[in-house]
């Protein structure tokens, strides 16, 4: 049976531990992590922060679902119409590339629906080829990139890093 990427909902703040447990059970996992500078009252420190709180991505087949659900910290699979949501390998690779290309820019996850706006593709710079929706113009472009089934992610890009392309051009 072919394995597919699934979104696994986990207990709050257990993403790293659940990912470790699943890997020990020979489950391929992806946990998007980003270095972020956190400030406390007495110091600043770089930490490995989970990008998508409450979720781990697992490449699995139906035969392994029970094993995953029995893993401590796992709540359930993300479902749509009572069927576990799956993500294609190509889409998962685009998501991983996006996280990797973000470098020191903070990526934020939101489960709120995207507002209607202009759809663009970044044409220049390290984010070349990533499509998204423009949500703000204030000296910088903030693009919300939506990957189906996962949610939306936002990143701030300076004007010299982007060139926009209209949706009309994208559909040709």
Q: Phi first, then psi: give them for residue 24, nearest 5 degrees.
A: -65, -25
Three-state DSSP state, 83: strand
If you ran DSSP here, which 8-state letter would residue 168 be given? H
Of the pLDDT bands very low, low, confident and very high (cuts 50, 70, 90), residue 135 is: low
Lowest mean pLDDT among 12-16, 99-103, 133-137: 133-137
Tokens 């990143």 identify what position?
A: 155
Residue 83, domain extent: 4-87
For residue 18, is it within any domain? yes
Note whether 59 and 115 are same-domain residues: no
Which of 37, 57, 87 is a domain's end point?
87
pTM of the predicted protein model = 0.67
Which of 55, 87, 119 is a domain's end point?
87
Q: What is the CATH number of the domain that holds 34?
A: 3.30.70.940
For residue 149, is it within any domain? yes
Q: Phi first, then psi: give them for residue 124, nearest 5 degrees.
A: -130, 160
Note whether 20 and 79 are same-domain residues: yes
Establish how many alpha carbons lie within 13 A of residue 51's alpha carbon, considering only the half-sphere containing its beta carbon. 25
How many domains is the chain built from? Answer: 2
For residue 103, is it within any domain? no
Note whether 47 and 12 are same-domain residues: yes
Q: Please give the pLDDT value at position 115.
A: 47
Q: Phi first, then psi: give them for residue 58, nearest 5 degrees.
A: -125, 135
Note whether 13 and 76 are same-domain residues: yes
């Amino acid at each position: 049976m072919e394995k597919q990427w699934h979104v696994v909902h986990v207990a709050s703040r257990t993403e790293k531990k659940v990912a470790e447990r699943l890997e020990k059970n020979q489950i391929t996992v992806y946990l998007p992590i980003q270095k972020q500078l956190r400030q406390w009252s007495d110091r600043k420190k770089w930490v490995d922060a989970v990008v998508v709180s409450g979720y781990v991505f697992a490449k699995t087949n139906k035969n392994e679902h029970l094993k995953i659900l029995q893993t401590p910290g796992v709540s359930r699979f993300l479902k749509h119409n009572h069927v576990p949501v799956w993500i294609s390998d190509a889409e998962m690779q685009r998501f991983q590339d996006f996280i990797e290309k973000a470098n020191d820019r903070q990526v934020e996850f939101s489960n709120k629906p995207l507002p209607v706006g202009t759809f663009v593709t970044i044409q220049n710079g390290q984010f070349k080829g990533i499509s998204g929706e423009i949500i703000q113009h204030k000296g910088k472009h903030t693009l919300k990139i939506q990957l189906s089934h996962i949610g939306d992610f936002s990143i701030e890009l300076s004007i010299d890093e982007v060139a926009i392309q209209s949706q009309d051009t994208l559909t040709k």
